[in-house]
Amino acid sequence: NRRIVLAERPKGEPTDSTLKLESTDIPSPTDGQMLLRTEFLSLDPYMRGRMSDAPSYAPPVAVGEVVESKREDFDKGDWVLSFNGWQDYALSDGSGVTALGRHPKHPSWALGIMGIPGFTAWAGLTQIGTPKEGETLVVAAATGPVGTTVGQIGKLMGCRVVGVAGGAEKCAYAVDTLGFDACIDHKSDDFAEQLKAATPDGIDIYFENVGGKVLDAVVPLLNIGARVPVCGLVSQYNATSLPDGPDRMNWLMGQILRKQLTVRGFIIFNDFVHLYPEFAKAMSSWIEAGKIHYREEIIDGLENAPRALIGLLKGENFGKRVIRVGNT
């Protein structure tokens, strides 16, 4: 049973010595337990927070198969969504486990479009962003699992959608495949000017995934009454200190006041869990109708998970990054 554990808490960016691979015996279930074999692991930006000595909001999520069961409610061969840790096998007493049936068509989608990222996008946008037809929606990390979903739902709701992504290839995908109206490369020298040109009517909803210089460029363009669902701040997860330059806290508060902005943070597990069935129904029907594109980046081998997470935090992923564990 291979497993990956934290070797040391990172300062700034995680490195090759942050996580280590070790081996243990495969455990045996006792009454009331079952043994799960991990098939797919989700890699998510929030995992950087779990490596710090500070509160974090979610355990790692995985899709696996029941290989032995001493429980009434699950049988050998059932697929489940669970909180396994980064390891080949895990014991479970059933808590926090969601049944995925015996032969799920796309088991890994439970980690992406039908799981936390898809649900986060839908809930943050519909409940806080409250899009109306003709409004302008800006979303950063636009080609990641949350951003792609936010933008595509925005289009379905009649918004003008402007994505922000790292590099020409990602931006072309957002426009050509996802149908966004524009997508701006945040690595361009004139990023702020390009964003302004792409939002001639200002911004009504900014779905915040990254913070940093994207947020700096967005705030002056926000319209009166704009909504900002604060979902994540990836650009800051490896930061070890506050950014250089003048303190802009009071300027930002002034913008919130004068423009009567709604800026609301949310944690999907805490705020909107009761809405999951509504989300699942809407998303399933959009997928069935071919209205939502979903891109996965599957990386083989549990041993490759640490490097894949380090790269995710730097934008090396193109789509939802999933590890196919490949255990024997």
Stretch that binds ligand NDP, among 5-13, 140-148, 253-261, 301-309 (CB under 6 A): 140-148
- Number of residues assigned to the chain: 328
User: How many other CB atoms are there within 10 angstroms of residue 113's CB atom?
Assistant: 26
Stretch that binds ligand NDP, among 70-78, 141-149, 242-250, 273-281 (CB under 6 A): 141-149
What are the tokens at 5?
């554990």
- Residues in 46-75 at the binding interface with ligand NDP, rule: CB under 6 A: 46
Stretch that binds ligand NDP, among 103-111, 139-147, 172-180, 220-228 (CB under 6 A): 139-147
List residues bridging with 38 in a β-sheet.
64
- Element spanning 283, H or E: helix 276-288
Contact residue for ligand NDP among 83, 191, 266, 276 (CB under 6 A): 266
- Which amino acid is present at 108? S
Contact residue for ligand NDP among 144, 151, 154, 306 (CB under 6 A): 144
Stretch that binds ligand NDP, among 18-26, 194-202, 215-223, 265-273 (CB under 6 A): 265-273
**SS3 per-residue string spanning 103-158:** CCCCHHHHHCCCCHHHHHHHHHHHHHHCCCCCCEEEEECCCCHHHHHHHHHHHHCC
**Alpha carbon 80 to chain centroid distance?**
20
Contact residue for ligand NDP among 128, 153, 195, 231 (CB under 6 A): 231
Contact residue for ligand NDP among 131, 145, 151, 306 (CB under 6 A): 145
What are the tokens at 209?
């995934």
The answer to whether the CB of 82 falls within 8 A of the CB of 59 is: no
For residues 141 and 67, give the distance between their C-alpha atoms in angstroms, rounded to a whole number.
Answer: 37
For ligand NDP, give the closer residue by CB, 125 or 261. Answer: 125
- Residues in 152-181 at the binding interface with ligand NDP, rule: CB under 6 A: 165-166, 170
**SS3 per-residue string spanning 284-309:** HHHHHCCCCCCCEEEEECHHHHHHHH
Number of residues counted as binding ligand NDP (CB under 6 A): 31
The answer to whether the CB of 119 falls within 8 A of the CB of 268 is: yes
Interface mask toward ligand NDP for 76-115; x: CB under 6 A:
----------------------------------------
Contact residue for ligand NDP among 117, 131, 151, 154 (CB under 6 A): 117
Contact residue for ligand NDP among 113, 205, 268, 283 (CB under 6 A): 268
For residues 117 and 86, give the distance between their C-alpha atoms in angstroms, rounded to a whole number.
Answer: 19
Place of tokens 């799960």: 36
Residues engaged in binding ligand NDP (CB under 6 A): 44-46, 116-117, 120, 140-141, 143-147, 165-166, 170, 186, 209-210, 212, 214, 231-232, 234-235, 266-268, 312, 315, 317
